[in-house]
Amino acid sequence: MTKLSVNINKIATLRNARNENYPNLLKTAQDILSFGAQGITVHPRPDERHVRYSDVYELKKNINSELNIEGNPIKKFIDLVNDVKPDQVTLVPDSEHAITSNSGWDTITNFSYLNDIIKEFKSNSIRVSIFIDPNINMVEGAKKLNADRIELFTGPFAKEFDLNRSEAVKNYVKCSKIANEINIDINAGHDLNHHNLLFFSESVKNIKEVSIGHALITESLYLGLETTIKTYLDILK
């Protein structure tokens, strides 16, 4: 079964709107795990507009499940990850003021830069995933970097899904085949939701984990958090 890691950035955004501790981020993360999700994802940005760096330490100490920290590996982020030592770090090339992640790494052009960072994280026994576009060259580049996993950026798939789902998923299927051949594990994330996840997960084989936040929290407004998580888990079975 593909694991579900819930990105809780939007919970932190709601909390920060009042500059209080409601909703309580840690309690929500614990509830999400009690409802069956297998992991928690956070994406702390330098301006801390949603998840704060201090939140990451609290989560690491108080949840009994996989913690995935994603972000652009600036020095502050690298120091955080090496200090917290999460189960997984996902490297994402988003700029400081990006609203959300909108592209993957060029693992060839950025080889030297990423290589040193990946070595450092792996020396601390942290699993490393590289966020990439669905491009075979980028998959092969991630393997040369000795990354443990790739995370396929599924934003383009979601945008094209209603127009032509078979065409939208084609490059992801190609990438998954290559990844399996060269023995690098696959995660996926961004804009996956109740509407498109089943087709994606049935088309792209051997996905280890999907990270879903914005859609899951939005759907929870209508269905409730527990029901929404269980629906996602049913899809991934």
Tell me the catalytic residues. Answer: 43, 70, 190
Q: What is the rounded radius of gyration, in angstroms, for the C-alpha atoms of the chain?
A: 17
How many other CB atoms are there within 10 angstroms of residue 133's CB atom? 18
Beta pairing partners, 66 = 39
Closest by CA position to 145, among listed 194, 177, 111: 111
H helix runs in 39-151, sequence order: 53-62, 75-84, 111-123, 136-144
Percentages (nearest 5) of helix, strand, coil residues in the chain:
50, 15, 35
Name, in order, each residue with C-beta under 8 angstroms of 228's C-beta and a sequence gap of 6 or more: 216, 219, 220
Residue 107 CA to its chain's centroid (Å): 18
What is the token pair recorded at 17? 């709107």
AA identity, residue 14: L
The alpha carbon of 51 is separated from its chain's Cα centroid by a whole number of angstroms, namely 14
